[in-house]
Structure 1
Amino acid sequence: MRIRVLTFNTLFRGRAHARMDALARLVEESDYDIVCLQEVISPLILARLRRATGSFPHLARAWTFPIVRGGLVTLSRWPITRIHFQSFIPARPVRPELLLNKGALFTRIRVPGGYLTVVNTHLSANMDMDWSPYNVYTKVEQSELNQLAAAIKRVDRAEPLVAMGDFNVPRDSRYFTTFASNAGLQDAMAGSTEPTYRPDYADIGAIDQLLHRPGLSAEPLVVFKDEIRLRNGDRAHLSDHYGIEATLAATTRAGERPTSASA
């Protein structure tokens, strides 16, 4: 099994239609098999994306009227056999993003050689950009990471699984490494602190993540770092985030159970 994947936070505001059109063209012309997007909040934006990505006939998302639940959308060129949305338990402080009903979108996909569970997620933002232990947003993110790890562990351990998205937690944070260990996942980026959030917005580093279970290998790359040309000729960045793409390959033989990830 060799599967090409992408995770990307699309940024819901600021010329969203034009940027989504450009993203859709890139995705449609790519060799990606599975694409996980965050902040696709509007059903109108989602419809626009679907019209322009005909080579991805399979779609996973959930609804919380009148928005796309959690802003999470997963596109696949391979058949989807199961979809489940796991909501995070709302926690104070009260803030607008609670209206998104954030969580994780679990999608089981039939790929060549078997099945792959894809977890697309977007955690709460740390509005203070302060990941000290006593910060209120740090506590919210820790709780969501614990909930996400518990949900991942409920998926059969023999099932290949990849988790990706906007974690809003820096990759070099002990909260992230603790999550990876608790969930039995390996960091595809191997702890790299190469930024995935544009530094002209804020210097918060590598907050988008791609992890996988033992039994898979990954060759990741940070992408969409440069400006692109929109249909009207203007140049713009696709988002305030960069994307992460990867080639996944099976390292476990059929019928062999993978060993646990090391802490």
Structure 2
Amino acid sequence: MSTRLTVATLNVRGLPLKGSRLGERFAAIADEFDAADIDLVCLQEVFAYHHLAHLRKRMPSFPYVAYRPSAIGPAGGQVTLSRLRPASTTYAGLPWSSRPSALPLRARLNALHSGMLTVRLADCRVLNVHPMANTDGDWSEQNRFYELQRDQFSALARAVSAENSPAVVCGDFNVSQASTLHRELQQRTGLRDAFSRLCPPTFHAEYLAPGNKPHCIDFILAAETIGVDSTELLFTDKRVLRSGPTYLSDHIGLLARLRIPD
């Protein structure tokens, strides 16, 4: 016997802050999630309480909203909305202190907001994760971001392995499939990619600097005991808002229909 669980993940903020039509975009994102057959949604970059209010107002069918409060909004910008009652929720920041002087100031500040939000359901744990961004787009072991990202992925691996219950890990990982960090995470935890490594780029190319290629940097990983019935990409195309057509985020969303063993 098994329990069906449909999960989705999306980095919602994205796009340049100026002229990003945040309110319109959040309303449209929330409307689509609320109309979809999804049990649990992991969101990243919900940094302010009024942003969260936009989402909650338009997602009434998701009565359970998990996040850790901070001064201006959800800690780490991470929010998980669920139609299923969680047994518990916890939040933990990811390490950020390795070689801080080697990184740009903005990157060091952003690292303070990287974390993992864990929602425990009856049959599994769902971890909403958002490690720090590598703004170089270079995931080699020689890159200046590598050591800090390695520390963060090690902390994530320990969190996944700390309990025996099956885990699902969703979010904007900020590393590509080709990164050794991504492969080592799967090796250390036994997690597997719900998309079977066939996920296309999850970042819209037009928001990258000239000459940069988009990669698959958003993932849904699941314990080996969890079955995957199907997967989908979300928010791949522009939507027509009152102010004109736009992508709802610079990221593409992911959805997986899973089977959790009883």
Query: TM-score, normalization: structure 1?
Result: 0.88
Shift of 1:193: 5.0
Number of equivalences: 245
What is the SS of the residue equivalent to 2:81? strand
Tell me which of 97, 100, 117 is aligned to 2:125: 117
For 1:172 and 1:32, how far apart are their aligned partners in 2? 29
Indicate the residue corresponding to 1:70 in structure 2: 76
**Match for 1:168: what amino acid?**
N
Offset from partner CA, 1:179-216 (integer Å, 9 cap, x none): 11112211112222510011112323100011001211
Match of 2:4 in 1: 2
2:143 matches 1:153: no
Q: How big is the shift at 1:233?
A: 5.5
Work out which of the residue numbers 138, 146, 155 in structure 2 matches 1:130: 138
Equivalent residues of 2:140, 2:179 under 8 A apart? no
Quote the offset at 1:101 in angstroms: 2.6
The letter for the 1-side match of 2:121 is I
Inter-partner Cα distance in structure 1 for 2:150 and 2:87: 31
1:221 aligns with 2:232: yes
Q: 3-state SS of the aligned residue for 2:137? A: coil
Unaligned runs of 5+ in 2: none
Greater relative CO (CA pairs within 8 A, separation 6+): 2
Cα-to-partner distance string for 1:206-249 (whole Å, 9 max, x where unaligned): 0001100121112222221101122x162110100000001001
Q: What's the secondary structure of 2:121's corresponding residue?
A: strand
- 2:189 corresponds to 1:187: no
Q: Residue 220 of structure 1 aligns to which amino acid in structure 2?
A: T
Match of 2:220 among 210, 213, 231: 210
Alpha-carbon distance in structure 2 between the residues aligned to 1:94 and 1:153: 32
Q: Matches of 1:184 and 1:68 in 2, distance apart?
A: 30
Taking only aligned residues, the RMSD between alpha carbons, in angstroms, comes to 1.5
Give distance in 2, aligned partners of 1:138 and 1:3: 34
Q: CA deviation at 1:173?
A: 1.9
TM-fit CA distance, 1:140:
1.5
Work out the CA distance in 2 between the residues paired with 1:172 and 1:220: 21
Matched ranges for 1:43-54 at <5 A: 43-54=49-60
CA distance in 1, matches of 2:121, 2:52: 20
Q: Secondary structure at the match of 1:11?
A: coil
Percent of aligned pairs sharing the same letter: 31
CA contact (8 A) 2:42 2:78 kept: yes
Q: How does 1:167-182 map to 2 (within 5 A)?
A: 167-182=173-188
Q: What is the TM-score of this pair, normalised by structure 2?
A: 0.89
For 1:95 and 1:42, locate their aligned partners in 2 and report how far apart those are by CA, in whole Å.
Answer: 22
Deviates more, 1:180-189 or 1:90-99: 90-99
Q: CA deviation at 1:64?
A: 2.3
Write out the 4+ residue segments of structure 1 that deviate beyond 4 Å after TM superposition. Answer: none
Distance 2:68 2:113 in 1: 10
